[in-house]
């Protein structure tokens, strides 16, 4: 995963069950030292089962860090000790930010995106971020759904600008949207 130019930042986008997490794991299997950052919270039995399934699918030698909110700090803290840091996923990170923040898209959410993008500018290791693309469907009926869609869309755009590589996964197939040119 390391390149001669610098550490890479790869954003994997796609719909639900599109193969994003599986692809991220395949990238991780090419690295020696991997830190997996899980942002999901086990709020109900269905989510607990999903988290357990994801845990069992990862190699046991990977370090797992459960961090729902402090992604920038996690990159800075854990990045120097690994070759690759996988963040799965920005979708739950956005939901966690909204839950922790105010009723309107505000300083808390935008500050967290700023901090994340700042940490990705010159990361201490290569980073793979997984996120859902939720802006391709119908407009959500409820204001909270529209706020979530808007926050995640803004985050995906800003992370994509910082990323060296951006891929869209459809039916498990990666489509390159942006690829860094080796120097």
The Cα–Cα gap between 40 and 88 comes to: 8
Catalytic option among 54, 61, 78, 99: 54
Q: Which of helix, strand or coil describes residue 64?
A: strand
The Cα–Cα gap between 27 and 10 comes to: 10
CB burial string 18-34: b at 16+ within 10 A, e below: bbbbebbbebbeebeeb
Determine whether 54 is an active site residue. Answer: yes
Length of the chain: 183
Written as six digits, the tokens of 83 are 């070759």
Q: Please list the active-site residues.
A: 54
């Amino acid at each position: 995963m390391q390149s001669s130019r610098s550490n890479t930042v790869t954003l994997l986008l796609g719909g639900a069950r599109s193969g994003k997490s599986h692809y991220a794991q395949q990238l991780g299997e090419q690295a020696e030292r991997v830190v997996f950052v899980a942002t999901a919270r086990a709020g109900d039995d269905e989510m607990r089962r999903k988290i357990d399934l994801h845990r069992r699918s990862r190699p046991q030698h990977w370090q797992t860090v459960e961090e729902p909110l402090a992604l920038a700090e996690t990159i800075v803290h854990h990045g120097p000790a690994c070759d690759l840091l996988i963040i799965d996923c920005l979708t739950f990170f956005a939901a966690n930010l909204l839950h922790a923040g105010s009723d309107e898209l505000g300083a808390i959410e935008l500050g967290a995106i700023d901090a994340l993008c700042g940490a990705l500018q010159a990361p201490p290791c290569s980073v793979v971020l997984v996120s859902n693309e939720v802006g391709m469907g119908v407009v959500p009926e409820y204001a909270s759904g529209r706020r979530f869609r808007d926050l995640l869309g803004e985050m995906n755009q800003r992370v994509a600008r910082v990323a060296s590589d951006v891929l869209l996964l459809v039916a498990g197939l990666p489509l390159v949207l942006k690829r860094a040119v080796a120097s």
